[in-house]
A and B are shown apart, each in its own frame.
Chain A
């Protein structure tokens, strides 16, 4: 498909398309192999080690896997984490799609798009940890929000469920991760030809029909990618759930972090490998609906 170089004064060296591909993918592959591939092998090796209560002992043993797979706590951890993932996915998708749609189709100037985009990004430049700490004075018993509610006469008693609860965890996730939905959806929408929508509108299609029949199908790559981002972020999080639930709820990664805190590497490694497999299956399911690689391959 790549036509030969027929330019004047171009370098005589001709690079075959396949070689170009490998040169282009090379840096990514190198970084991933060095800093993810090899460490992953180390983690897999550790998952077969034995743990003697203090130290990891090299071995080839399935005991850690058996332990994870037969333990009742594993199921409840997965159910809890999946619950967060699904709820957060639904909310961020709704918000993310709407915001991206607004930015892509109603804000026409690139400068305004960038400005509004950055407006959504700025909070992320204040450290996550500081922002987490600030939820206590915001949602707390005597926090800004409760005081506002009481001040407005909406409630008499401060609402306790606002903080250190599933509600708090989910609202923090939505706060942190909606951007990850907006960015890919917006980028996909930006590729949609506006003439197409004009044509549909001229043809008498309603706003909803345009969204459902044109915008959604044409931005499905972005929706799929955003979903992958949000789902993997929630499934791998331990920090938000710890702080926002006041350590009263758990996720799989948080259970792992409790093990790592006591250098219990083999059991932590085994549950990491299992988590990797489970989330990979979830991502594969998303990719089955939308094959993002096919969308760009010529």
Chain B
């Protein structure tokens, strides 16, 4: 942090000396050049691109998206400082609510928007300033698939919280407007991770989570709002309850779900519940669990240790989630301009390419293409068998030639979303019942 400040101060000093003037013009031109590629600051007065170097943006998010490499690349490409800080879900939401000033760019899950728009924590973005908005996957912009089918709106479908009528609005707009609440950054479709060496048969349904066959060897997420969705997928698949909306249960549905969970816990069905990505990887890798709800990159992480693990495409579909970034309400003037510039850079492909190699999807898949080899794009997005070795962004080999991504191509996975990570209307009641489940 200190280093960055010292540098900008040095740059300021340089621009003030007459000899530094030429150099300044050169850097300004470079910045303008970089900006031109993102096509943003056309028409901005030159003086802004001078001061913009002093701008610092602090993005705070989960460590799966607030990645230092992305900030470094953005700093290099944009000419102002972008920093990343990691925080877990709970800490992030609490910081956004109690100390919004310590964050410039919020990097949040979509359902946080329910908390934040109401409080005016974020500021909506003008659609016309987001260059690639019309290229964003229609799941987010229209709530539909490219073929026009509607995306499941159980839970918080990002489209439901994507638009507001304008700055200061406390409610979400029913349909597309000119004001966007967040830009999708990473998203994915989750299902069950399986240890084929220990399960030894095909797993095709979420109901396997509750199958006594795997007693003491299954696990779900311990985050109440998400764990109950994992459970609901399994319970509905088993045929116990037919939910109206798994993502927004009634009190009666919550009661029944928790009762079933309690019974399962009592019978010793779950080995543990996992709270972090890391725990989920460790549980599977160490063989503590063999059937477990998981994130796709976590499955890859298990496999890259040489332990067989696959992501089962299940007939009931996927539990999806999405993250987005948005400027905080306190940004204004040149800092807000920098935020727009950064967000446009974010969508222009570098981030998408980086994130894709960890198994996540991003807002504009075609932009990712520019930053991936054909083989990589084929493997991660198109469901094609890998021709060469598939490597992660840091050059570690993840998959051998011939491997095919579990679940296949982008639309084979994202096209089968059953529900979204959520914040229920009855969330206070739900947390209470969840605590009861834990204490049982």
- Do chains A and B directly touch (beta carbons under 8 Å) in the complex? yes
Q: Which of A99-107, A220-228, A241-249, A279-287 contacts B (4 or more CB under 8 A)?
A: A241-249
C-alpha gap A164/B268 in the complex (Å): 11
In the complex the two chains form, what is the Cα distance from A275 to B431 in whole Å? 18
Identify the closest chain A residue to B119 (Cβ).
A55
Q: Check if B428 sits within 8 Å of A247, measured CB to CB.
A: no
Question: Which of A29-37, A169-177, A253-261 has 4 or more CB atoms under 8 Å from chain B?
Answer: A253-261
Q: Which of B216, B270, B423 is close to A160, meaning CB atoms less than 8 Å apart?
A: B216
Query: CB-CB < 8 A to A142: which residues of B?
Result: 286-287
Q: Which of A54, A141, A262 has the most CB of B within 10 A?
A: A262
Q: A51-B428, A54-B114, A260-B94 are in contact. Are A76 and B436 (CB under 8 A)?
A: yes
Within B205-223, which residues are at the interface with A (CB < 8 Å)? 216, 219, 222-223
B193 CB → nearest A CB, Å: 16
Residues of B within 8 A of A250 (CB): 435, 438-439
- What mask results when residues 404 to 440 of chain B are scored 1 for a CB within 8 Å of chain A, else 0? 0000000000000000000101111001101110111
Q: A150 at the A/B interface (Cβ < 8 Å)?
A: no
**Nearest Cβ on chain B to A235's Cβ, whole angstroms:** 15
Q: Which residues of B contact A242 (CB under 8 A)?
A: 222, 275
A136 touches B288 (CB 8 A): yes
CB pair A258 B435 closer than 8 Å: yes
Residues in A with CB closer than 8 Å to B223 are 261
- CB–CB B439/A76 < 8 A: yes
Shortest CB–CB separation between residue B200 and chain A, in angstroms?
18
**In contact, A73 and B436 (Cβ under 8 angstroms):** yes
Cβ-based interface call for A133 (8 A): yes
Asked, given contacts A246-B271, A247-B274, whether A258 binds B431 with beta carbons under 8 Å apart, the answer is yes
**CB neighbours of A258 from chain B (8 A):** 224, 431, 434-435
Interfacial chain A residues near B93, Cβ < 8 Å: 261-263
A247 to B222, CA, bound (A): 6
Mark interface residues in A138-151 (1 if CB within 8 Å of B CB, else 0).
00111100000000
Closest B residue, CB atoms, query A67: B432
A44 in contact (CB, < 8 A):
no
Name B286's contact: one of A51, A137, A260, A263 (CB within 8 Å): A137
Q: Which residues of B contact A254 (CB under 8 A)?
A: 435, 438
Decide if A259 touches B431 in the complex (CB within 8 Å). yes
* Neighbour of B90 across the interface among A76, A143, A261, A267, CB < 8 A: A261
Contact at A136–B428, with CB atoms within 8 Å? no
Is the beta-carbon distance between B439 and A140 smaller than 8 angstroms? Answer: no
Q: How far is the CB of B425 from chain A (nearest CB, A)?
A: 6
For A160, list chain B residues within 8 Å (CB): 216
In the complex, the answer to whether B118 meets A55 with C-beta atoms within 8 Å is yes
| A246 CA / B93 CA spacing, docked (Å) | 23
B115 & A246 in contact (Cβ 8 Å cutoff): no
Distance in angstroms between the alpha carbons of A258 and B94 in the assembled complex? 12
Q: A248 vs B220: C-alpha distance in the bound complex, in angstroms?
A: 11
Q: Determine if A246 and B272 form an interchain contact, defined as CB atoms under 8 angstroms apart.
A: yes
Asked if A264 and B431 make an inter-chain contact with CB atoms under 8 angstroms apart, the answer reads: yes
Q: How far is the CA of A248 from the CA of B269 in the complex (A)?
A: 11
Specify which chain A residues have a CB less than 8 angstroms from the CB of B119 in the assembled complex.
Answer: 55
Min CB distance B259 to A, Å, is: 14
- B263-277 contacts to A, CB under 8 A, are 265, 270-275
A264 to B97, CA, bound (A): 11
Q: How many residues on the A side are at the interface (Cβ–Cβ under 8 A)?
A: 39
User: A264 CA to B432 CA in the complex, in Å?
Assistant: 11
* In contact, B273 and A73 (Cβ under 8 angstroms): no
Write the nearest CB–CB distance from A234 to chain B, whole angstroms: 16
Cα(A184)–Cα(B420), bound, Å: 52
Are the C-beta atoms of B428 and A53 separated by less than 8 Å? yes
A141 touches B273 (CB 8 A): no
- What are the residues of chain A within 8 A of B225 when measuring CB–CB? 262
The answer to whether the Cβ of A77 comes within 8 Å of any Cβ in the partner chain is: yes
B427–A53 touching, CB < 8 Å: yes
Also in contact, A71 and B97, with CB within 8 A (given A136-B282, A136-B288): no
Residue pair A73, B271 in contact (C-beta under 8 Å): no
Chain B residue nearest to A245 (CB atoms) is: B272
**CB <8 Å contact, A262 and B439:** no
Which residues of A sit under 8 angstroms from B271, Cβ to Cβ?
A: 164, 246
The A-contacting residues of B in range 33-86, CB under 8 angstroms, are none
Do B286 and A140 have beta carbons less than 8 Å apart? yes
**Best-buried of A51, A53, A80, A242 by chain B (most CB within 10 Å):** A53
CB-nearest residue of chain A to B223: A261
Which one, B118, B282, B428, B434, contacts A267 given CB within 8 A?
A: B428
Interface residues in A280-298 (C-beta closer than 8 Å to B): none
Q: How far is the CA of A261 from the CA of B278 in the complex (A)?
A: 19
Instruction: Please pick, from B279, B288, B440, the residue contacting A141 in the complex, using a CB distance under 8 A.
Output: B288
- Contact across chains for B432 and A249 when beta carbons are under 8 A apart: no
Which residues on A sit within 8 Å (CB–CB) of B222? 242, 246-247
The 8 A CB mask of B104-136 against A (1 = contact, 0 = none) is: 000000000011001100000000000000000
Taking the complex as formed, is A185 at the interface, i.e. its CB lies under 8 A from any CB of chain B?
A: no
Nearest chain A residue, comparing its CB with the CB of B430: A262
Contact, CB under 8 Å: B435 / A77: yes
Cα–Cα distance between A96 and B338 once the two chains are bound (Å): 58
Is A4 part of the contact surface with B, judged by Cβ < 8 Å?
no
- Tell me whether A9 is interfacial, beta carbon within 8 Å: no
Identify which of A76, A163, A248 contacts B273 (C-beta below 8 A).
A248
Please give the distance in Å from A53's CB to the nearest CB on chain B: 6
Is A72 located at the chain interface by the 8 A CB criterion? yes
Q: How far is the CA of A55 from the CA of B272 in the complex (A)?
A: 32
Interface contact B273-A246, CB-CB below 8 Å = yes
Residue in B90, B97, B427, B439 whose beta carbon sits within 8 Å of that of A257 in the complex: B90
Q: Beyond the given A73-B432, A261-B89, could you list 18 further A-B residue pairs with CB under 8 A, ordered by the A residue number?
A: A54-B118, A73-B439, A76-B439, A76-B440, A77-B435, A133-B282, A141-B288, A163-B272, A164-B272, A246-B222, A246-B273, A246-B274, A247-B274, A248-B270, A250-B438, A258-B431, A261-B223, A262-B224
A residues contacting B by CB (< 8 A) are: 51, 53-55, 71-73, 76-77, 80, 133, 136-137, 140-143, 160, 163-164, 242-243, 245-250, 254-255, 257-264, 267
Interchain residue pairs with CB less than 8 A apart (11): A55-B118, A76-B440, A77-B435, A140-B286, A163-B288, A246-B273, A246-B274, A248-B270, A254-B438, A261-B90, A262-B428
Give the top 7 A-B pairs by smallest Cβ distance, nearest first. A246-B272, A247-B222, A261-B90, A250-B438, A247-B273, A255-B435, A73-B436
